[in-house]
């Protein structure tokens, strides 16, 4: 019923399969531990810019990138730790570095764990020792991502984390967006707007940041593709971001543990004491109808 296999493509790729439900995902550890594809009955759930993906010097646009140790960007890409300035790029480095595939399991689910450790490169921009372990679990039409964040430093470690899933879509005017918040901030203008479930998709870009979440789930129904996406997340996640670009066949619905610039503002920032571990879970369910 469940199977975990791997093969060498441009990158070593792992496939997690639920053969009864004809559902499978592909994971590429060396490109940021990313899920690049999720197919159900031959229909793709995720968008992927396949041409961009072939260039290892470019960030991946598609799949489900991992955000760590920050979500979004910082003013001048700069933050301060104990009086010393550090520069770090938007969304951090976890989505760009090679992860290591470790444990896999095909009993009762198809699962794969990918892990990332701090190194000399990461400490130039983020002066902490850490260990991350993410386990992808596939059962039918549901993907669960169990995350472990561990501080191996002798000092407290601040961070935020999240995901940036790109969902393949058709006519965006056929999207029904259910986000559990009554207003959002436009990240481009920093203006606040009331939210009634509708966006103007004639804009060149939508970059809407939702806080004060009223429940632990969100969803989008794509009437064009006849696909409903539901995302469930635990209390670690405090923000949702809806992002899309005109003319591109994707929208992103992103759970974040904190919003932009939290390394400076400290708002909703997670701070782990030495040798402490934090665990979180996020679940995506995809149903074609």
Taking only the tens place, the pLDDT of each residue in 186-220 is 999 999 999 999 999 999 999 999 999 999 999 99
Is 6 exposed, middle or buried (CB count within 10 Å of its CB: 0-12, 13-18, 19+)? middle
- Rounded to two decimals, the pTM is 0.97
Full residue range of the structural domain in which residue 103 is found: 2-288
- What's the burial of 245, exposed, middle or buried (CB within 10 Å: 0-12/13-18/19+)? middle
Strands (E), 88-181: 100-105, 110-117, 130-139, 142-151, 157-159, 162-163, 166-168, 175-178
- Structure confidence by residue, pLDDT tens digits, 219-276: 999 999 999 999 999 999 999 999 999 999 999 999 999 999 999 999 999 999 999 9
Q: Report how far residue 169's alpha carbon sits from residue 174's, in angstroms, rounded to the nearest whole number.
A: 9
Residues in the chain: 289
- For 68-100, letters b (16+ CB in 10 Å) and e give bbbbbebeeeebeeeeeebebeebbbbbbbebe
- Give the CATH number for residue 221: 2.70.98.10
Helix (H) or strand (E) holding 123: helix 120-125
DSSP collapsed to 3 states, 173-184: HHEEEECCCCEE
Residue 70 contacts residue 159 (beta carbons within 8 Å): yes
Q: How many domains does the chain have?
A: 1
């Amino acid at each position: 019923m469940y199977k975990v296999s791997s093969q060498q493509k441009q990158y070593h790729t792992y496939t997690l399969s639920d053969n009864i439900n004809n559902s499978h995902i592909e994971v590429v550890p060396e490109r940021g531990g990313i899920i690049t594809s999720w197919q159900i009955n031959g229909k793709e759930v995720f968008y992927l810019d396949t041409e961009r993906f072939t260039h290892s010097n470019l960030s991946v646009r598609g799949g489900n990138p991992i955000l760590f140790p920050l979500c979004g960007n910082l003013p001048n890409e700069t933050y301060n730790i104990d009086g010393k300035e550090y520069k770090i790029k938007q969304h951090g480095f976890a989505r760009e570095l090679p992860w290591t595939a470790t444990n896999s399991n095909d009993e009762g689910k198809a699962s794969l764990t990918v892990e990332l450790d701090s190194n000399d490169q990461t400490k130039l921009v983020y002066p902490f020792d850490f260990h991350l372990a993410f386990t992808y679990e596939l059962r039918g039409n549901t993907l669960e991502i169990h995350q472990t964040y561990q501080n191996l430093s002798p000092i407290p470690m601040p961070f935020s984390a999240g995901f940036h899933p790109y969902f393949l879509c058709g006519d965006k005017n056929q999207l029904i967006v259910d986000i559990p918040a009554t207003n959002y901030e436009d990240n481009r203008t920093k203006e606040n707007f009331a939210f009634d479930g509708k966006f103007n998709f004639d804009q060149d870009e939508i970059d809407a940041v939702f806080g004060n979440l009223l429940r632990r789930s969100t969803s989008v129904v794509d009437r064009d593709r006849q696909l409903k996406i539901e995302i469930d997340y635990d209390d670690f996640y405090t923000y949702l971001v809806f992002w899309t670009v005109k003319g591109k066949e994707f929208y992103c619905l992103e759970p974040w543990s904190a919003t932009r610039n939290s390394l400076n503002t400290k708002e909703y920032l997670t701070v782990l004491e030495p040798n402490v571990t934090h665990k979180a879970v996020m679940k995506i369910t995809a149903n074609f109808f």
